[in-house]
Amino acid sequence: MTTIGVLGGSGAVGRIVVDRLTAWELGKLRVGGRDLERVAKVCAQAPKAHTEPMRVDLNDRDELRGFCADCDVVVNCAGPSYQVLDRVARAALAAGAHYVDAAGDLVAIDALGDAPPTGLADRAAVFSAGLMPGLSGLLPRLLAVDGPPARLDIYVGGAAAIGPLSAVDALLTRGPRFGTALAAWRNGGIAPNALRPLRSVALPGFRGRVHAWPFLSAEASRLAAELGVEELRNYTVYVTEAIPRALAAAWADEDAPLERHVPAVAAAAEADLAATGPYYTMLFQAVHHDPAPGRPRRLELHTPDSYALSGVVAALTARDLLDERIPPGVHLAAEVLSPRETLTLLADDPLVTGVELI
């Protein structure tokens, strides 16, 4: 029987991975986490599935090895990603399993590339299998099926709770392997300081007036280069300016440990939630050289829970690996999943409250 390991299975992302994989009846699920009682409760909610709760701490090499043993795929939903890096991927590949990371990024891939494991010869490791990065680099490809647009604008954001681990990850998203603030992609390269924040603007699909902060992520740069887009603008959207202010204050305080600013970032996210309630929107807009009738120019996707939707993407990636639709090697999810099929599946998922491609 196929065995799928879900590490961090009792968290906001992992619970959804377990739920979707259970519904698809892909095999036995081994659900792991540091708190065995919480993990057992998740398994108990899937009584029709063959589930196995297991106590595992990813920082314990022997426990991690035991968790990955005999798995066909290991899906990692545990964090924070800046500490996980390639640790779980190496354990999964050493056990002969494919690997999916609901988070992860180029830094994790760099770490895995240092002495690449032999398992990559016939197994795959897929990182950034979530909402952002992940869907934010996958879905815009649907606006370029008939050739690269002259310009592509990406707006992703809304209001969502930020826990301590996610806050630290957010505070660490600086440097060339993550992206460049205020930059745009123009004519084949990064244009520094090309954009300014858009304050109190109305954007399709967002509630009321919002604030859009330009950040050319590494994912967006790779997307622009691959598609051959002349200009790409990538914005993170906030419902208030509380989070940008909290992040700016932390980055200006260079001598203090980032953990000191975690409460401020979490409180800023709570302020956003109080303002609008939970929601997340992905908006992609293209300007085409040839605006032929019927050519898609805008894509919107809406969800009440960005973390949970990341779990759906991770589960879809695991399913594609089991179906042998992803080749061996190291990949980013946005570059190996099918944009069209992913959008079709998401449109039918209860966590997606609206999809529009026009």
Q: Is the dihedral of CA 83, 84, 87, 91 positive or negative?
A: positive
**Spatial contact of 194 and 186, defined as CB atoms under 8 Å apart:** yes
Query: What local confidence, expressed as pLDDT, does residue 165 receive?
Result: 78
Residue 323 predicted with pLDDT over 80 = yes
Query: What local confidence, expressed as pLDDT, does residue 177 receive?
Result: 78
CATH number of this structure's domain 3-130+307-357 = 3.40.50.720
| Domain boundaries for CATH 3.40.50.720 within the chain | 3-130+307-357
Query: What local confidence, expressed as pLDDT, does residue 164 receive?
Result: 84
DSSP run (H or E) holding 137:
helix 135-138
pTM for this model (two decimals): 0.95
146-295 to CATH, choices 1.20.120, 3.30.360, 3.30.720, 3.30.2010: 3.30.360
Name the amino acid, one letter, at 68: C
Q: 85-137, pLDDT tens digit by residue?
A: 999 999 999 999 999 999 998 999 999 999 999 999 999 999 999 999 999 99
Of 77, 67, 127, nearest to 97 (Cα)?
67
Q: 171-190, pLDDT tens digit by residue?
A: 777 666 789 999 999 999 99
| Domain boundaries for CATH 3.30.360 within the chain | 146-295
Residue 38 predicted with pLDDT over 80 = yes
| Angstrom distance (rounded) from CA 195 to CA 177 | 20
Q: Is the peptide bond before 164 cis (omega within 30 degrees of 0)?
A: no
